[in-house]
Amino acid sequence: MSWPLFRYDTPMIWIAHRGNLNGPKPEFENNPDYINEAVGKGFDVEVDVWVLRGDFYLGHDGSQYRIDIEYLCSYPLWCHAKNLDALVAMRRAGNIHCFWHENDMYTMTSRGWIWAYPGNDVNSDCIEVIQDDAWPDHLAGGCCSDYVEMLKNDSSSSV
């Protein structure tokens, strides 16, 4: 299958869901070391952020890994606020790429991207969330997946 990689002459953004590159690994997801591996391979990473009693944490279902706010500013992260305190603190920081969603069809990130919940139409202003190893829509500006490395490699070899 061949599909274009470019949106207005800009490469597609490849986002590792919670740091996953080639399939879900719940035991490693949102771990800063795991995230750093994905970033080291050239991927952006979607992370789950909590703020509890003024401290920042990463973790999907709860606060697992305490981090400094500087960590959220220093990497190509797409920070999914998991509670109101996290959303407010990241918005106030001003330089953290963040968003909030649950089952919304679409939500807007703090940097103007449209985060599209799986199964919804997308265009070049959207990040398409892929729940399995299906091909992203060729119209999307970016793809967030647990299989992002495989998808990126497959797309490069088919162009």
Q: How far is CA 145 from the centre of its chain?
A: 8
* 5 occurs within a structural domain: no
Neighbours of 157 (CB within 10 A): 8
Domain count for the chain? 1
Which residues does residue 115 pair with via DSSP β-bridges, in sequence order? 107, 127
What's the pLDDT at 3?
A: 40
* 1 occurs within a structural domain: no
C-alpha to C-alpha distance for 64 and 50, rounded to whole angstroms: 9
Q: Which domain holds residue 147?
A: 13-158
Q: How far is CA 45 from the centre of its chain?
A: 5
What's the pLDDT at 46?
A: 98
With a cut of 50, which residues of the chain have pLDDT below it? 1-9, 159
The dihedral formed by the CA atoms of 47, 111, 76 and 153, expressed in degrees to the nearest 10? 90
The mean of the pLDDT values for the chain is 89
What's the pLDDT at 137?
A: 65
* 110 occurs within a structural domain: yes
* 38 occurs within a structural domain: yes
What's the pLDDT at 82?
A: 97
What's the pLDDT at 151?
A: 87
* 115 occurs within a structural domain: yes
What's the N-to-C CA distance of the chain in angstroms? 8
What's the pLDDT at 4?
A: 42
> What's the pTM value of the predicted model, to 2 decimals?
0.89
What's the pLDDT at 6?
A: 39
What's the pLDDT at 93?
A: 93
What's the pLDDT at 96?
A: 97
* 72 occurs within a structural domain: yes
Q: Are strands 77-81 and 98-99 parallel, antiparallel or unpaired?
A: parallel
* 37 occurs within a structural domain: yes
